A and B are shown apart, each in its own frame.
Chain A
Amino acid sequence: KQEVTQIPAALSVPEGENLVLNCSFTDSAIYNLQWFRQDPGKGLTSLLLIQSSQREQTSGRLNASLDKSSGRSTLYIAASQPGDSATYLCAVLNAGNNRKLIWGLGTSLAVNP
């Protein structure tokens, strides 16, 4: 059974810092991995999607890596800003017929001005 873990559960950093959020999964048979952002009381915004054959994806100040064999992904945020404060969720889509996103519990990020 696929399990997704995110570390740390919460993170507070001063503005301008580079930071890394971690996601690990127990079953390497995945179709893809997505990173999402959720603001309080809001829906989810898809940040980056990495297909199982890819190693990383970049969008602006965000870079996500995937090491499928070790069951790990990282989300790197460069030059953090207060507007980056949100909960960041990692989810994997299992390979096979029963394709459902399996979610981590998220990392709550606070970037302090």
Chain B
Amino acid sequence: GAVVSQHPSRVICKSGTSVKIECRSLDFQATTMFWYRQFPKQSLMLMATSNEGSKATYEQGVEKDKFLINHASLTLSTLTVTSAHPEDSSFYICSARVPSGRGGEQYFGPGTRLTVT
């Protein structure tokens, strides 16, 4: 299957600082990438859909000015958590979708554990 990488895997930051998380599709070009967050023992919550070269589409209740998403190339999307607060501490997972012509399967990165102190 296809491989999606995420960096960093863990990050601890102080309240008020910004954190950038990178998501890369290593062996395929992904026109669409997704960002999820997951709280302990809960299912994934979609935050936003990112299309290469255009603005991300945010889900209801997700602050676009706080969670900045950039999908600058077909293999890279970034999520920047700005002015982080302890309540932003969570597990963030990115995903990339294989083009529809190749089945449309979605592959997930290993996740980033963000802790805001």
Which A residues have a C-beta under 8 Å from some C-beta of B?
Answer: 31-32, 34, 36, 41-46, 49, 51, 89, 91, 93, 99-101, 103-106
The answer, yes or no, to whether B91 is at the interface (CB within 8 Å) is: yes
Q: Is B61 at the interface (CB under 8 A from chain A)? A: no
What distance in Å separates the Cβ of B26 from its nearest Cβ neighbour in chain A?
A: 14
Known: A41-B91, A41-B113, A100-B49. A46 touches B106 (CB 8 A): yes
Question: In the complex the two chains form, is B103's CB within 8 Å of A49's CB?
Answer: yes
Give the docked Cα–Cα distance between A15 and B110 (Å): 27
State the Cβ distance, B109 to closest chain A Cβ, in Å.
Answer: 5
Which residues of B does A touch, CB under 8 Å?
1, 6, 34, 43-44, 46, 49, 91, 93, 95, 103-111, 113
Contact of B109 among A43, A89, A93 (CB under 8 A): A43
- Whether B108 contacts A101 by the Cβ 8 Å rule is no
- Distance (whole angstroms) from the CB of A67 to the closest CB of chain B: 20
| A101 and B104 within 8 A (CB) | no
- Can you identify 21 A-B contacts, CB atoms within 8 angstroms? A32-B105, A34-B106, A36-B108, A41-B91, A41-B111, A41-B113, A42-B110, A43-B6, A43-B93, A44-B44, A45-B108, A46-B108, A49-B103, A49-B105, A51-B103, A89-B43, A89-B44, A93-B106, A100-B46, A101-B46, A104-B43
Sorted nearest first, the 8 A-B pairs with minimum C-beta distance are A44-B108, A43-B110, A43-B111, A49-B105, A43-B108, A103-B43, A105-B43, A43-B109
Cβ-defined contact, B104 with A46, below 8 A: no
**Which chain A residues border B105 with CB–CB below 8 Å?**
32, 34, 46, 49
